[in-house]
């Protein structure tokens, strides 16, 4: 499961057996969301600018 913080933009992966995290591991914010499967691709992560827009 992949997550993205709305405050700092940090993206991370959590193991399924641990479930949803309680906070962002970088800034400790609880303002984060689960990335949909189409936002994640094999071999890496999509890149976003500081406003959350997808960068090609």
| Cβ pair 3, 35 in contact under 8 A | yes
Gap between the Cα atoms of 41 and 24, Å rounded = 21
Q: What is the pLDDT of residue 42?
A: 44
Helices (H), the chain: none
Question: What are the sequence ranges of the domains in the chain?
Answer: 2-55
Report yes or no on whether pTM surpasses 0.75. no
Per-residue buried b or exposed e for 8-28, using 16+ beta carbons within 10 Å of the residue's own CB? eeebbeeeeeeeeeeebeeee
Q: What is the pLDDT of residues 22-50, one digit of tens each?
A: 899 999 999 998 887 656 544 456 666 66
Residues β-bridged to residue 48 = 54
Residues 6+ apart with CB under 8 A from 20: 1, 3, 14, 34
């Amino acid at each position: 499961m992949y997550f993205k913080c709305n405050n700092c933009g940090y993206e991370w992966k959590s193991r399924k057996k641990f479930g949803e995290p309680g906070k962002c591991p970088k800034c400790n914010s609880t303002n984060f969301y689960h990335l949909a499967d189409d936002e994640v691709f094999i071999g890496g992560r999509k890149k976003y600018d500081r406003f959350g827009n997808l960068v090609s």
